Structure 1
Amino acid sequence: MLRSAVLAAGLCLISTAGYCADEKTSGAFVGEGIYSPTTGCKKLKDIESGKATPNIATYPLMLTQEGTRSWEGGCKFESIRETSANTFETKMQCSEGAEEYEETVTFTRLDADRIKVASDGEALVYERCKGLKGTVE
């Protein structure tokens, strides 16, 4: 078992064209910080300050360079392709409870602090949350 793990790690390290299983795809186009739909930033500030307890009603949708997150689950970037200036088509690996699935999501940077997120004919505008002290878990 250990020999297999060492061999896999070695192959992963020496392969320039290969993909390592635990390699992360970064959504650098998102930029630094946490984004959330309009009321989400206030919810995050309330959780961070202790005014609210994280639960299904208070935990908002979030977007970071790692992907999207909500109370029920989230999505990680699998691949990213720039389709036009400030527009990125992504394949995301998602989980919600025990269910896992792949989803295609389009991200369009509207300005320095807003990103439109669209999938399956629906879209939401996420805005950068300002004034957060750290990561809200």
Structure 2
Amino acid sequence: MAYHTVTTIWKENMAFETDNPLGNNVIIDTSKENGGDASGLSPKAMMLSSLAGCSGLDVVALLSKMRVEVDDFKIIVKGELTEEHPKYYSSVTVDYHFTGNNLKKDKIEKAVALSVEKYCGVMEMFRKFAEVKIEIFYHKK
């Protein structure tokens, strides 16, 4: 079984610096209205970014294997928080945006589906506590 370990160190006020197994560092902070300096990502926003990054890595790798080229690709993730504490994302919408003039929609849809249904572990974790909705958008250059 594989393990990941991160070390998170309190820096000052409400800010923390955390690493990842690859050795990169990220600042975690909260908004000014919650006592922070807004100097980094909030923990919940980082979760949405992790979801987008995990699926994005899958999609890019799969499209490369399929020899599919796109001019631009972005993922927008929106999370709806519960009203009561502890607040968590009860639903999440993941919008995949692909830009190009000759997009191969069938292969793009296959790559997204494989990420969503098979490869993205963060997506699977989100499904344990949230309704996850997926949508694909195509844009001409």
The TM-score range, normalised by the shorter chain, is under 0.3
Structure (1 or 2) with the greater strand fraction? 1
Q: TM-score, normalised by structure 2?
A: 0.22
Structure (1 or 2) with the greater helix fraction? 2
Q: TM-score, normalised by structure 1?
A: 0.22
